[in-house]
């Protein structure tokens, strides 16, 4: 009889659900923001799980302090990994959840969320807070002249590191020029079991990093303008600069600065290879610095990406807003005051130090908030100032980035000529324009209606709360 | 003749040994990795931990609230089984042993499930669940898991039912059993092996699922074990020793269940065949 | 038992399965099919696009490369998993000391999380500190050392090896169960008739475990079509230059990296139709035991 019961239950349940499906479809339109509890209201922040447990604790502590001070409750919804966030945000919108702040990457906003009208325009809302950011450190959160998110994490850049202990042992100097890099590489290769540069070449997405550096030089340090003109359809990617940049990446490989091993090595493998002393140098992003520093029992030095094109200087790709705080466009304007008060609270130097200080902060994005002061950090900071270009992969769509990765690996492996590679990237651009109606300057073609959907109806006066 | 057999035995023994090494080594490696510190994870890749860091286990347990998540995973996995097994057994029995109009159609329809790529269906599934008010509930997750595994379950159970001799039911009918009573008392016990197959295959899939759980569950206290991965994998750095500690803790129960169930499972099949 | 009235019992037995399946699998898939006719980035409003997404898919070389890889993958994985698992099962079905240990050991990879498998195997294949190359040079086979995951000629096979390794234990257990169920007297009878080991395999074992083979083959084939995302993603994510791209990695990339849900769903639908055809052909060919009436 148990089975009969079970069967009947299941059937009844299923039928009930089916019926429920029809009737309740209109019930889920609870207005976000109306769910306020207590007198002070509530702010909900959606973010992926913090980098380290200490960061989570710090968020909770600061949120509790904020509630004590203002009476506004803060719900911190940490969920999933970084790449899950866009989907989670979309679901929250469908389900009518209250989300006042979402932590996303600026790259996501410039590639999708922004163009889709997913986040609010913060230009006026956040203007009182801009002084808290170091000079230039918020620039790339402006897309089309509007501010879409407040960066709230370390900035990052590409970096070249070397094993200083090994270099000293072998009597080598950190390379300053391309020729020195080649000769250092040659010396390292002659030592048994050591390769010159290790790079995470198995990760397709990593190759555009190296390309960015060479492209910066072949465009005469005008890579961002060149890419914008390419993305607006004004010029083709098949240009001397693009082709030459492919050639230069291949040169790394041809002159044995990069070896076959890098093509088979992923992010973790790169860290392991370098930390084990099996590579003399490394080209990576600063986000790996913390792990590298912890894993290497030798001294690390940094050097500048070599100048490979006469008349240009070495420029590092960099970006601010890996993690940035945005306000979803479906968040209620009624709650904006509370939301902005929380953003004001967490960007205060002491609170920001509490939260962000739990991770490695190489660059001082918010004034006075940083954790590192070693030589590498100092070198990187001096390098960034006036010597950097925005990450190109935050400018172009993911399809173009993917095509570029494919093209670079094909060029290195001899499957494609540099000329064909540039054409391949251009084709990917043409395809994405057709298939997704891609427009680089989406903000130029927006209708008034689209602007209204992301423009806050009232601007709370934050200055009264600021210390 | 005798010599030939012994060579065959040696070959088998060597192959088995190689298989065992390449299959056991990973779990040993994971276990070692879970006791290293972050730096050693990168510098001493294949070796024994130089110093045993059991605190990784404590930290992992605490950081990801594993106690509660273990219980949640257990509830969801068992619950899905409790829905899936009766549902697929009933339907598979009907399709395998009863004659009715449209039975092939129903069977083929349910089999479509193994052919649907579910990867991009996250948002549609979410929408359906949302309209039924099943978000943030273990019950909703169970229903989805059960539904997604129906096709495979049907296929397995039907295979087992179809091989049973018809006389079994006829004898039971003569004894005055109702058709459903006959199904429950005579047929289901003989299909234990089918049930066990579902448990070890689908149960494992459900126990390890991240994708649907992340879509359906947003409340911290309802999260299942695989979602803990996100607690250790950051955008910028991953705490591998703690991650491995967590995964070791999540894997060991699965292996225990296998050791306990494999004997009765395999013998269950044999018993069914002997009776047939 | 002949009644004019339609007998409701079989339908009631199927009801729960059909309802659950329709709600949580078919309905979302139908929404997916619907989405495939639209341009949709996952956030803004959907724009009707007619059959254009399908046109884009048909023009997309990478997708067809991925489909080709998927077929190679499916065939190799199915053959290897079944042959090796059957061979291991035929050893481990016998009664000997330590049998449970061996069975458990070979089952262990099934239980491991993909995240561990990913790091482990990528590192085994690593050229600098990987075990495979160290092993090869230790036994003097230096000429076999390859860029396992970077050489377009071998990368797909390197992934297939990991997939086979992961699932072999599962198929082995099913085969053991199937082999246990073959009545011993059939072998005795065959031996009396003078059958050698191969003849016994051909005329006794294989026909008797036909249903087990059907399950195993179906699982490996459909697994390669609709469930190999994780393993390819962690090993290469389709690289180098899409040489290991399979349909699922490309579909997921189109959906969750490129936010092109319309095209991703169109790819899903095409994949589904292909699996549908091959799945049913396979079932038709292999299920001749299903003549129960």
A26-77 confidence digits (pLDDT tens):
333 334 444 444 467 999 999 999 988 899 999 999 999 999 999 999 999 9
Q: Do C215 and B208 touch (CB under 8 A)?
A: no
Pick from B63-77, C10-24, C194-208: least confident: C194-208
d(CA A200, CA A202): 6
Q: Is A395 exposed, middle or buried (0-12, 13-18, 19+ CB in 10 A)?
A: buried
Confidence class for position B267, pLDDT limits 50, 70, 90: low
C145 has a chain A CB within 8 A of its CB: no
Q: Do A53 and B135 touch (CB under 8 A)?
A: no
Helix/strand number for chain A, H first, E second: 18, 13
CA C103, distance to chain mean position in Å, is 21
Pick from A452-456, B172-176, C176-180: least confident: B172-176
Sign of CA dihedral C107, C109, C113, C114: negative
d(CA B117, CA C28): 11
Which positions ≥6 away from A315 have C-beta within 8 Å?
A213, A216, A217, A221, A223, A305, A387, A388, A389
Q: Do A90 and C42 touch (CB under 8 A)?
A: yes
Instruction: Tell me the shortest Cα–Cα distance from C53 to chain B, in angstroms.
Output: 15
Element (H, E) at A184: helix A178-190
Instruction: Tell me the shortest Cα–Cα distance from A279 to chain C, in angstroms.
Output: 9
Q: Do B269 and C181 touch (CB under 8 A)?
A: yes
Instruction: Tell me the shortest Cα–Cα distance from A132 to chain C, in angstroms.
Output: 32
C80 has a chain B CB within 8 A of its CB: no
Under 8 Å CB pairs connecting chains A and B tally to 115
| Complex ipTM value | 0.87
C249 has a chain B CB within 8 A of its CB: no
C279 has a chain A CB within 8 A of its CB: no
Confidence class for position C22, pLDDT limits 50, 70, 90: very high
What tokens appear for A363 in the block? 């660059």
Tell whether the model's pLDDT for residue B262 goes beyond 80: no
What's the pLDDT score for residue A3?
A: 45
Cβ-contact A113, C43 below 8 angstroms: yes
| Distances in whole angstroms, Cα of residue C293 to Cα of each of B180, B215, C1 | 19, 44, 15
Instruction: Tell me the shortest Cα–Cα distance from B131 to chain A, in angstroms.
Output: 5
CA B121, distance to chain mean position in Å, is 21
Fold match between domain A42-154+321-359+442-454 and domain A156-319+385-436: yes
Cα of first residue to Cα of last residue in chain A, in angstroms, is 71
A405-445 confidence digits (pLDDT tens):
999 999 998 999 999 999 999 999 999 999 988 989 999 98
Tell whether the model's pLDDT for residue B269 goes beyond 80: no
Tell whether the model's pLDDT for residue B12 goes beyond 90: no
Chain C nearest-CA residue for A453? C44
CATH of A42-154+321-359+442-454, one of 3.40.50.720, 3.40.190.10, 1.10.10.60, 2.60.40.10: 3.40.190.10
d(CA A273, CA A192): 14
Please list the ranges in chain A whose pLDDT falls under 70: 1-39, 385-386
Could you count the other beta carbons within 10 Å of the beta carbon of residue C65? 18
Instruction: Tell me the shortest Cα–Cα distance from B122 to chain A, in angstroms.
Output: 9
Give C148's contacts in chain A (Cβ within 8 Å).
Answer: 264
Confidence class for position B5, pLDDT limits 50, 70, 90: low
Ordered alpha helix ranges (H), A257-397: 260-263, 267-275, 289-295, 336-346, 349-356, 375-384
- What is the mean pLDDT of the segment spanning C77-90? 94
B177 has a chain A CB within 8 A of its CB: no
Q: Do B96 and C289 touch (CB under 8 A)?
A: no
> β-strand A316-319 against A388-390: which pairing, if any?
parallel
Confidence class for position B1, pLDDT limits 50, 70, 90: very low
Cβ-contact B225, B73 below 8 angstroms: yes
What tokens appear for A91 in the block? 């679901």
User: Pick from A113, A202, A402: which is nearest to C43 by CB?
Assistant: A113
Q: Do A409 and C239 touch (CB under 8 A)?
A: yes
d(CA A297, CA A267): 19
For B225, the 3-state DSSP assignment is helix
Element (H, E) at A325: strand A324-326
Q: Do C127 and A437 touch (CB under 8 A)?
A: no
What's the pLDDT score for residue C288?
A: 55
Instruction: Tell me the shortest Cα–Cα distance from C208 to chain A, in angstroms.
Output: 32
Give A116's contacts in chain C (Cβ within 8 Å).
Answer: 41-44
Strand partners, A133: A366
Residue with tokens 């010597």: A387
What tokens appear for C130 in the block? 């990987």
Tell whether the model's pLDDT for residue C289 goes beyond 60: no
C189 has a chain A CB within 8 A of its CB: no
A454-465 confidence digits (pLDDT tens):
999 989 988 888
- Which of the pair, A342 or B203, is modelled with greater confidence? A342
d(CA B183, CA B169): 8
C96-108 confidence digits (pLDDT tens):
888 889 999 999 9
What's the pLDDT score for residue A23?
A: 36
What's the pLDDT score for residue C197?
A: 84
What's the pLDDT score for residue B109?
A: 93
User: Pick from B16, B111, B132: which is nearest to C91 by CB?
Assistant: B16
Cβ-contact A374, A286 below 8 angstroms: no
Domain residues of chain A, as ranges?
42-154+321-359+442-454, 156-319+385-436
d(CA A458, CA A464): 16
CA B179, distance to chain mean position in Å, is 31
What's the pLDDT score for residue B2?
A: 47
Q: Do C120 and B26 touch (CB under 8 A)?
A: yes
Fold of C46-178+210-286: MetI-like fold (1.10.3720)
Q: Do A276 and C12 touch (CB under 8 A)?
A: no
Tell whether the model's pLDDT for residue B274 goes beyond 50: no
In the complex, which subunits touch C with 3 or more CB pairs below 8 angstroms? A, B
E strand spans, A164-209: 195-198
Cβ-contact A197, A303 below 8 angstroms: no
CATH of B64-232, one of 1.10.3720.10, 1.10.1130.10, 3.20.20.370, 3.40.50.300: 1.10.3720.10
d(CA C247, CA C234): 15
Closest Cα partner for B217 from A91, A55, C4, C240? A91
- What is the mean pLDDT of the segment spanning B1-20? 79
Which positions ≥6 away from C41 have C-beta within 8 Å?
A112, A115, A116, A436, C259, C260, C261
User: Pick from A15, A260, A415: which is nearest to C127 by CB?
Assistant: A260
Phi, psi for A253 (deg, rounded to 5): -80, -45
Tell whether the model's pLDDT for residue B248 goes beyond 50: yes
Instruction: Tell me the shortest Cα–Cα distance from B221 to chain C, in angstroms.
Output: 23
Percentages of chain B per state (helix, strand, coil), in multiples of 5: 80, 0, 20
Contacts with A, B 102-121, CB within 8 Å: none
Percentages of chain C per state (helix, strand, coil), in multiples of 5: 70, 0, 25
What's the pLDDT score for residue A373?
A: 84
Closest Cα partner for C272 from C251, C257, C242? C251
B218 has a chain A CB within 8 A of its CB: yes
Give B204's contacts in chain C (Cβ within 8 Å).
Answer: 110-111
Cα of first residue to Cα of last residue in chain B, in angstroms, is 35
Fold of A156-319+385-436: D-Maltodextrin-Binding Protein; domain 2 (3.40.190)
For C149, the 3-state DSSP assignment is coil
What's the pLDDT score for residue B266?
A: 67
In the complex, which subunits touch B with 3 or more CB pairs below 8 angstroms? A, C
The model's pTM is 0.90
User: Best mutation site among A58, A81, A97, A287 for testing chain B: the one with the most B CBs within 10 Å?
Assistant: A81
Closest Cα partner for C221 from C21, C81, C67, C64? C81
User: Pick from B86, B117, B144: which is nearest to C271 by CB?
Assistant: B117
Tell whether the model's pLDDT for residue B192 goes beyond 70: yes
d(CA C279, CA B119): 19
Give C149's contacts in chain A (Cβ within 8 Å).
Answer: 202, 264
Tell whether the model's pLDDT for residue B276 goes beyond 60: no
d(CA A214, CA A246): 8
What's the pLDDT score for residue B167?
A: 81
Torsion of Cα atoms, B26 then B31 then B35 then B38, to 10°: 30
Tell whether the model's pLDDT for residue C161 goes beyond 90: yes
User: Pick from C125, C238, C242: which is nearest to A264 by CB?
Assistant: C125
Give A78's contacts in chain B (Cβ within 8 Å).
Answer: 220
Q: Do B204 and C20 touch (CB under 8 A)?
A: no
Q: Do B112 and C32 touch (CB under 8 A)?
A: no
Instruction: Tell me the shortest Cα–Cα distance from A20 to chain B, in angstroms.
Output: 6
Tell whether the model's pLDDT for residue B264 goes beyond 90: no
Q: Do C28 and B128 touch (CB under 8 A)?
A: yes
- What is the mean pLDDT of the segment spanning B45-67? 91
- What is the mean pLDDT of the segment spanning C129-147? 88
What tokens appear for C194 in the block? 């003078």
B92-148 confidence digits (pLDDT tens):
999 988 888 888 899 989 988 888 887 788 889 999 999 999 999 999 999 999 999
């Amino acid at each position: 009889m148990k089975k009969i019961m079970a069967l009947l239950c299941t059937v009844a349940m299923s039928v009930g659900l089916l019926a429920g499906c029809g009737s309740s479809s209109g019930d889920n339109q609870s207005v976000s923001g109306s769910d306020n509890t207590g007198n002070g209201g509530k702010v909900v922040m959606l973010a992926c799980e913090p980098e380290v447990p200490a960061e989570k604790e710090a968020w909770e502590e600061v949120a509790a302090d904020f509630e004590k001070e203002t009476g506004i409750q803060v719900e911190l919804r940490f969920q999933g990994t970084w790449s899950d966030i866009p989907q989670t945000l979309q679901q929250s919108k469908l389900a009518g959840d209250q989300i006042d702040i979402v932590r996303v990457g600026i790259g996501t906003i410039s590639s999708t969320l922004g163009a889709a009208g997913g986040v609010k325009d913060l230009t006026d809302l956040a203007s009182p807070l801009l002084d808290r950011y170091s000079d230039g450190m918020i620039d790339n959160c402006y897309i089309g002249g509007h501010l879409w998110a407040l960066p709230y994490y370390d900035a990052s850049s590409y970096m070249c590191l070397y094993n200083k202990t090994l270099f000293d042992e072998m009597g080598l100097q950190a390379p300053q020029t391309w020729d020195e890099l080649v000769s250092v590489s040659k010396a390292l290769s002659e030592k048994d079991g050591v390769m010159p540069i290790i790079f995470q070449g198995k990760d397709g997405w990593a190759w555009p990093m190296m390309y960015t550096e060479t492209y910066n030089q072949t465009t005469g340090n005008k890579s961002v303008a060149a890419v914008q003109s390419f993305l607006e359809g004004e010029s083709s990617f098949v240009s001397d600069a693009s082709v030459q940049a492919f050639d230069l990446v291949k040169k790394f490989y041809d002159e044995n600065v990069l070896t076959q091993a890098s093509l088979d090595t992923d992010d973790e493998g790169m860290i392991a290879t370098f930390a084990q002393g099996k590579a003399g140098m490394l080209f990576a992003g600063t986000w790996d610095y913390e792990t590298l520093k912890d894993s290497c029992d030798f001294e690390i030095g940094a050097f500048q990406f070599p100048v490979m094109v006469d008349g240009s200087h070495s420029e590092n790709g960099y970006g601010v807003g890996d993690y940035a705080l945005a306000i979803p466009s479906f968040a209620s304007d009624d709650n904006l005051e509370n939301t902005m008060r929380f953003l004001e609270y967490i960007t205060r130097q002491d609170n920001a130090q509490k939260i962000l200080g739990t991770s490695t902060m190489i660059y001082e994005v918010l004034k006075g908030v940083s954790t590192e002061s070693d030589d590498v950090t100092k070198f990187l900071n001096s390098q960034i100032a006036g010597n950097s270009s925005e990450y190109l992969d935050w400018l172009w769509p993911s399809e173009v980035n993917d095509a570029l990765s494919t093209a670079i690996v094909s060029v290195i492996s001899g499957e494609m000529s540099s000329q064909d590679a540039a054409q391949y990237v251009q084709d990917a651009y043409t395809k994405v324009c057709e298939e997704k109606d891609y427009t680089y300057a989406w903000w130029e073609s927006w209708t008034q209606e689209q602007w209204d959907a992301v423009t806050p109806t009232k601007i709370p006066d934050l200055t009264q709360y600021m210390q | 003749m005798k010599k030939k057999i012994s060579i065959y035995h040696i070959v088998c023994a060597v192959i088995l040994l190689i298989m065992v090494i390449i299959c056991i080594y990973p779990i040993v490696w994971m276990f070692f990795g879970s006791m290293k510190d972050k730096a050693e994870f990168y510098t001493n890749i294949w070796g024994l931990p130089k110093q045993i860091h059991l605190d990784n286990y404590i930290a992992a347990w605490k950081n990801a609230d594993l106690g509660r998540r273990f219980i949640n995973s257990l509830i969801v996995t068992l619950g899905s089984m409790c829905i899936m097994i009766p549902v697929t057994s009933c339907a598979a029995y009907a399709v395998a042993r009863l004659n009715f109009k449209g039975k092939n159609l129903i069977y083929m329809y349910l089999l479509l499930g193994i052919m649907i790529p579910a990867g991009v269906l996250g948002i549609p599934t979410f929408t359906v669940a949302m309209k039924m008010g099943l978000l943030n509930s273990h019950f909703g997750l169970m229903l989805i898991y059960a539904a997604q595994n129906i096709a495979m379950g049907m296929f397995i159970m039907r295979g087992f039912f179809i091989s049973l001799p018809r006389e079994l039911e006829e004898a039971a009918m003569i004894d005055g059993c109702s058709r459903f009573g006959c199904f429950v008392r005579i047929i289901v016990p003989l299909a234990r092996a089918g049930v066990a197959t579902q448990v070890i295959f689908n149960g494992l899939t459900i126990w390890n699922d991240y994708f649907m759980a992340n879509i359906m569950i947003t409340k911290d206290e309802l999260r299942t074990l695989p979602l803990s991965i996100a607690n250790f994998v950051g955008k910028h750095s991953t705490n591998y020793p703690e991650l491995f500690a967590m995964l070791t803790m999540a894997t060991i129960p699965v292996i225990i269940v296998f050791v306990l169930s494999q004997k009765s499972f395999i013998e269950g099949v044999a018993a069914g065949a002997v009776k047939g | 038992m002949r009644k004019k009235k339609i007998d409701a019992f079989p339908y009631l037995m199927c009801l729960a399965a059909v309802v659950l399946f329709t709600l949580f699998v078919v309905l979302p898939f139908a929404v997916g099919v619907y989405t495939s006719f639209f341009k949709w980035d996952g956030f803004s409003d959907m724009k009707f696009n007619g059959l254009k997404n399908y046109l884009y898919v048909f023009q997309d070389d990478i997708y067809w490369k991925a489909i080709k890889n998927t077929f190679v993958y499916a065939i190799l994985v199915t053959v290897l998993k079944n042959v090796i698992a059957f061979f291991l099962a035929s050893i481990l079905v016998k009664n000997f000391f330590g049998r449970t240990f061996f069975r458990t050991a070979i089952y262990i990879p099934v239980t491991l999380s993909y995240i561990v498998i990913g790091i482990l195997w990528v590192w085994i294949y690593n050229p600098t500190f990987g075990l495979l190359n160290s092993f090869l040079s230790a036994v003097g086979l230096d000429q076999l050392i390859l860029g396992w995951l970077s050489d377009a000629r071998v990368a797909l096979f390197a992934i297939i090896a990991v997939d086979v390794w992961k699932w072999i234990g599962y198929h082995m257990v099913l085969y053991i169960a199937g082999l246990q169920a073959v009545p011993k007297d059939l072998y005795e009878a065959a031996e009396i008739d003078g059958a050698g080991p191969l003849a016994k395999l051909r005329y006794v074992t294989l026909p008797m475990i036909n249903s087990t083979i059907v399950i195993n083959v179906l699982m490996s084939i459909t697994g390669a079509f609709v469930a190999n995302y994780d393993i390819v993603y962690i090993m290469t994510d389709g690289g180098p230059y899409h040489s290991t791209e399979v349909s699922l990695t490309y579909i997921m990339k189109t959906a969750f990296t490129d936010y092109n849900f319309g095209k991703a769903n169109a790819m899903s639908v095409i994949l589904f139709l292909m699996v549908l055809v091959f799945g049913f052909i396979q079932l038709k060919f292999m299920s001749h035991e299903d003549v129960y009436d």
